[in-house]
Amino acid sequence: MIGKARHGAITVSPHQRAVKGEDLVWISHCVTMPEPLANSKIMSLALPTFLKQSVTTMLDALLPPVCLSCDRPVASHQTLCSACWGQIHFIAAPFCSCCGSPFEIPVGDGMLCAGCLSHPPVFTQARAAMLYNDASKPIILGFKHGDRIHPARALASWMHRAGQELWPDIDVIAPIPLHRLRLFKRRYNQAALLAQNLGVLSGKPVFVDALLRTKPTPAQGHMNRKERQANVKGAFNVNPHCLAAMKDKTVMLVDDVMTTGATLNECSQVLLDAGARGVKALTLARVKGYA
């Protein structure tokens, strides 16, 4: 089923909180679906294959595919050029079995990083698709602040692959929320867009407003671990309408970047306090060795 189109976005009634499988267009009231993404889904539902190919060819002629990072021409949509692909550090083993922080040298299974040994996180495991560095920064900042939301599908597919060992235990997906004032200013929650696409890829239900950010916290860019912990303390609640959906479930928290893990820890604690069985985390990128 498809929500009602209004002002260039797809909206649905507030009581529709879960998004499962192919129902990408079912979204909660707090997130709007960008028109191009919604339209592409409508097109895929409505047109036979030969017509879709013709429309795709026509769209490619009108909007030639470009690299998700540097905008150089590439062969197909939702990809990187070879230069950007070579510079982005996709995280692969060996890494910390808990937080996913990559190790420089091969280590045995189940090894933990110094950060997890000294400050064990509240979530049981976390994974990230890539390192946050000079090569990945343009994609992430553009996606987060620059209205460049068209890579959401590709970015979610990288995340889905990075979290492959976590998915079997997951019951529901929940994004880290924005405070309503920031959501109003930015007009979209980048973590919710990633969560929506991860719901399609994993087949797990997505609760885009399972968590509420009740305190408008300042940006954490230059804060250290303790400052970040204090900054997010008491900033989140589980949405009363989603308490039953979180109870006894293992939740996959989704965010764009993990730095110290303070936000993920706070949200994990809030979910556990509300009755969740466990919490794991999946982010697009992570800062190396900080957690």
Stretch of 112-120, 150-158, 191-199, 267-275 contacting Zn ion, by CB under 5 A: 112-120
69 vs 217, beta carbon nearer Zn ion = 69
> Which two structure tokens, joined as six digits, stand for 239?
């949405």
CA-closest candidate to residue 92, choices 42, 122, 59, 130 = 130
Q: What is the dihedral of CA 88, 94, 97, 101, to 10 degrees?
A: -40
Residue of the chain from 10, 12, 24, 84 that contacts Zn ion (CB under 5 A) = 84
120 vs 275, beta carbon nearer Zn ion = 120
Of all helices (H) and strands (E), which one includes residue 279? Answer: strand 278-286
Residue of the chain from 43, 70, 111, 141 that contacts Zn ion (CB under 5 A) = 70
As a three-state string, the secondary structure of 213-247 is ECCCCCCCCCCCHHHHHHHHCCCEEECHHHHHHHC
For residue 162, the minimal CB distance to Zn ion (Å) is 15
Binding status of residue 155 toward Zn ion by CB under 5 A: no
For residue 106, the minimal CB distance to Zn ion (Å) is 16
Stretch of 46-54, 96-104, 199-207, 268-276 contacting Zn ion, by CB under 5 A: 96-104
Separation CA 272–CA 181 (nearest Å): 26
Separation CA 206–CA 237 (nearest Å): 17
Separation CA 13–CA 26 (nearest Å): 9
Stretch of 60-68, 134-142, 185-193, 233-241 contacting Zn ion, by CB under 5 A: 60-68
136 vs 202, beta carbon nearer Zn ion = 136
Binding status of residue 19 toward Zn ion by CB under 5 A: no
Which residues have CB under 8 Å from 135's CB, separation 6+?
A: 69, 84, 87, 88, 89
Strand 18-19 versus strand 206-207 pairing type: antiparallel
Backbone angles phi, psi at 63, to 5 degrees: -125, 80
Binding status of residue 260 toward Zn ion by CB under 5 A: no
For residue 250, the minimal CB distance to Zn ion (Å) is 19
For residue 64, the minimal CB distance to Zn ion (Å) is 14
Residue of the chain from 25, 67, 238, 254 that contacts Zn ion (CB under 5 A) = 67
The count of residues interacting with Zn ion (CB under 5 A) is 11
CA-closest candidate to residue 117, choices 101, 132, 135 = 101
83 vs 243, beta carbon nearer Zn ion = 83
Binding status of residue 12 toward Zn ion by CB under 5 A: no
Binding status of residue 149 toward Zn ion by CB under 5 A: no
Separation CA 222–CA 228 (nearest Å): 9
Stretch of 67-75, 86-94, 133-141, 218-226 contacting Zn ion, by CB under 5 A: 67-75
- Whether the CB-CB separation of 37 and 44 falls below 8 Å is answered with no
Binding status of residue 159 toward Zn ion by CB under 5 A: no
Measured from the Cβ of residue 136, the count of other Cβ atoms closer than 10 Å reads 21
> Which two structure tokens, joined as six digits, stand for 205?
């239900």
In sequence order, the β-bridge partners of residue 141 are none
Footprint (CB under 5 A) of Zn ion, residues 116-145: 116
Binding status of residue 11 toward Zn ion by CB under 5 A: no
Residue of the chain from 32, 40, 69, 265 that contacts Zn ion (CB under 5 A) = 69
Q: What residues line the site for Zn ion (CB under 5 A)? A: 67, 69-70, 81, 84, 96, 98-99, 101, 113, 116
